[in-house]
């Protein structure tokens, strides 16, 4: 909903001319891609120029695609992604720490390096899914000096709500890791608070420094 409202607002602002839009969603999830693609097909139909970075080629897409290796291919070959919700807290934290290693799979692609290092590429908007193990990609907005739209096809984490300024309360906003409903007793609220605070603090003080250092890998131009 938030993404759609932001896109609608942006379309009003630039409705008098076509915009250059970069869509950076390299994770190979069919459900996520099938959620996002109709939006950008419609934007293309309305005269906007779309550059779509993905690991799943859409043979019917009318816009330009940059197809990269799926960062989660090795992970999904070993684990059922639908079982992630059954991971414990420690397993989830380890998975998050490994996410930068996954990102290096596509960031090292020569075509992505060319895009990152380019000095003549211009985009009016960058749409990405950085809050899903891909925080390093948030630098794209800074690189191209363009506003960003955060896409999300899964329930938001507390970190996502925190950085986007959306309201949340540990007493009624639940984490998927706490496995609780909105009707929590005291102990469930306590567990939910612990999980939520861990998500925010771990991401801020452990994940983000790692992703920030990853932004500089392979770069020679200043940020």
Domain contains 178? yes
Q: In whole angstroms, give the CA distance from residue 150 to residue 138.
A: 9
Domain contains 173? yes
Domain contains 150? yes
Tokens of 63: 């816009």
Domain contains 115? yes
Domain contains 12? no
Domain contains 82? yes
Count how many domains the chain has. Answer: 1
pTM for this entry:
0.78
Domain contains 162? yes
Helix (H, G, I), strand (E, B) or coil at 168: coil
In this structure, what CATH number is given to the domain that contains residue 24? 3.40.50
Q: In whole angstroms, give the CA distance from residue 13 to residue 116.
A: 26
Q: In whole angstroms, give the CA distance from residue 55 to residue 26.
A: 5
Domain contains 107? yes
Q: Which domain holds residue 181?
A: 17-213
* pLDDT, one tens digit for every residue, the chain (223 residues): 555 556 665 655 555 578 999 999 887 788 889 999 999 999 999 999 999 999 999 998 999 999 998 877 766 666 665 666 666 667 767 777 666 677 777 888 899 889 888 888 899 999 998 877 777 888 888 889 999 998 988 778 888 888 888 888 888 888 776 777 778 889 989 988 988 898 898 888 888 887 777 654 444 444 4
């Amino acid at each position: 909903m938030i993404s759609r409202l932001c896109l609608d607002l942006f379309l009003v602002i630039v409705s008098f001319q076509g915009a250059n839009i970069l869509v950076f969603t390299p994770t190979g999830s069919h459900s996520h891609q099938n959620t996002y693609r109709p939006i950008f097909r419609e934007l293309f139909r309305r005269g906007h120029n779309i550059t779509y970075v993905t690991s799943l080629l859409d043979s019917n897409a009318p816009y330009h695609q940059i197809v990269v290796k799926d960062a989660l291919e090795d992970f999904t070959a070993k684990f059922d992604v639908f079982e992630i919700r059954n991971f414990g807290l420690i397993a989830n934290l380890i998975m998050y720490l490994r996410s930068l290693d996954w990102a290096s799979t596509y960031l090292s692609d020569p075509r992505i390096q060319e895009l990152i290092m380019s000095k003549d590429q211009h985009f009016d908007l960058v749409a990405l899914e950085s809050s899903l193990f891909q925080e390093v990609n948030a630098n794209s907005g800074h690189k191209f000096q363009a506003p960003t739209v955060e896409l999300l096809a899964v329930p938001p984490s507390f970190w996502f709500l925190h950085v986007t300024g959306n309201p949340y309360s540990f007493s009624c906003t639940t984490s998927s890791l706490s496995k609780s409903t909105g009707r929590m007793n005291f102990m469930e609220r306590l567990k939910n608070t612990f999980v939520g605070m861990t998500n925010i603090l771990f991401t801020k003080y452990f994940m983000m420094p790692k992703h920030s250092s990853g932004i500089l890998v392979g770069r020679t131009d200043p940020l």
